[in-house]
């Protein structure tokens, strides 16, 4: 009997641990519940309240778009994405998870060396809106330390996991010179979609100034083959439609480095 209880306990602990690590590693799916510490505020309201600090898109006047890739680095997908970007001479923006940067530093250096912008995507994919102010700053600070040591600058752009961020956290970012960058085009590629569905999702809300969300890494159960396969076709499609593909620093006219 005692043995049976012990086994059951171990099983529960193992399941809990695997759920936790899956959550920490999972890309930007919708967060199921919010913390009621502050009232929920829509992205549109945040954009209006914090112009130039909370951003979902660039100028609508110019046919430029920015490709952004979250949850990097991931040796399964990031190198293939970098190869395609290099082959088509496209520069993009990668939002890096601090703990993954520690694990795969060479890959972060490669992203930087190949001319892409680097942004902060938290240390372990935490849901910012569920964190205390100090825990929020720690997520950013720890990642910032790792990234500065690898690429030589402190990134200005922050992408909150799941796009979830509280008004007070945006206010702190403003004071510190950071820019919170969400998106207006969601490929929904974290759902392990085929390349044709990834492309279809991107076309739905694409317009001049769009910031396109895709992923260059994922949890163990996620398959981003569709993202990798869609990329050459996406680049060709965008260029045929007259779009210029730029980094976030080019789209937003702000340096990727906080100090410049
Ligand atoms: Zn993410």
Average pLDDT of the segment spanning 21-35: 51
CA of 1 relative to ligand 1 center, distance in Å: 43
Q: Which residues are in the CB-under-5-Å shell of ion ligand 1? A: 27-28, 70-71, 161
Does 215 participate in catalysis according to the annotation?
Answer: yes
CA of 8 relative to ligand 1 center, distance in Å: 33
Share of the chain above pLDDT 90, in %: 83
CATH number, domain 51-252, options 3.30.930.10, 1.10.101.10, 2.40.30.10, 3.20.20.370: 3.20.20.370
CA of 34 relative to ligand 1 center, distance in Å: 17
Q: Is the separation of the CB atoms in 93 and 157 below 8 Å?
A: yes
Whole-model pTM above 0.85?
Answer: yes
Give the model confidence (pLDDT) of 227-243 as tens digits: 999 999 999 999 999 99
Give the model confidence (pLDDT) of 199-210 as tens digits: 999 999 999 999
Q: Is the separation of the CB atoms in 159 and 119 below 8 Å?
A: yes
- Taking the C-alpha atoms of residue 253 and residue 255, their distance in angstroms, rounded to an integer, is 7
Q: pLDDT at residue 11 above 70?
A: no
- Taking the C-alpha atoms of residue 195 and residue 131, their distance in angstroms, rounded to an integer, is 35
CA of 113 relative to ligand 1 center, distance in Å: 22
Average pLDDT of the segment spanning 12-40: 51
């Amino acid at each position: 009997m005692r043995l049976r209880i012990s086994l059951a306990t171990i099983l529960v602990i193992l399941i809990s641990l695997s759920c936790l690590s899956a959550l920490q590693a999972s890309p930007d799916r919708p967060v199921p519940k919010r913390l009621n510490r502050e009232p929920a505020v829509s992205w549109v309201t945040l954009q209006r309240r914090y112009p130039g600090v909370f951003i979902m898109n660039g100028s609508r006047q110019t046919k430029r778009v920015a490709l952004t890739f979250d949850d990097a680095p991931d040796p399964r997908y990031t190198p293939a994405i970098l190869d395609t970007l290099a082959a088509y001479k496209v520069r993009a923006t990668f939002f890096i998870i601090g703990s993954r940067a520690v694990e795969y530093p060479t890959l972060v250096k490669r992203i930087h060396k190949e001319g892409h912008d680097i942004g902060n995507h938290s240390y372990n994919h935490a849901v910012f809106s569920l964190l205390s102010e100090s825990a929020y700053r720690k997520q950013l600070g720890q990642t910032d330390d790792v990234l500065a040591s690898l690429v030589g600058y402190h990134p200005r752009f922050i992408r909150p996991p799941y796009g979830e961020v509280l008004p007070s956290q945006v206010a702190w970012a403003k004071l510190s010179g950071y820019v919170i960058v969400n998106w207006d085009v969601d490929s929904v590629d974290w759902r392990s979609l085929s390349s044709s569905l990834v492309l279809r999702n991107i076309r739905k809300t694409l317009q001049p100034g769009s910031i396109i969300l895709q992923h260059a890494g994922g949890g163990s159960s996620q398959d981003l083959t569709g993202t990798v396969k869609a990329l050459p076709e996406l680049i060709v499609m965008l260029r045929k439609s007259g779009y210029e593909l730029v980094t976030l620093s080019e789209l937003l006219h702000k340096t990727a480095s906080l100090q410049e």
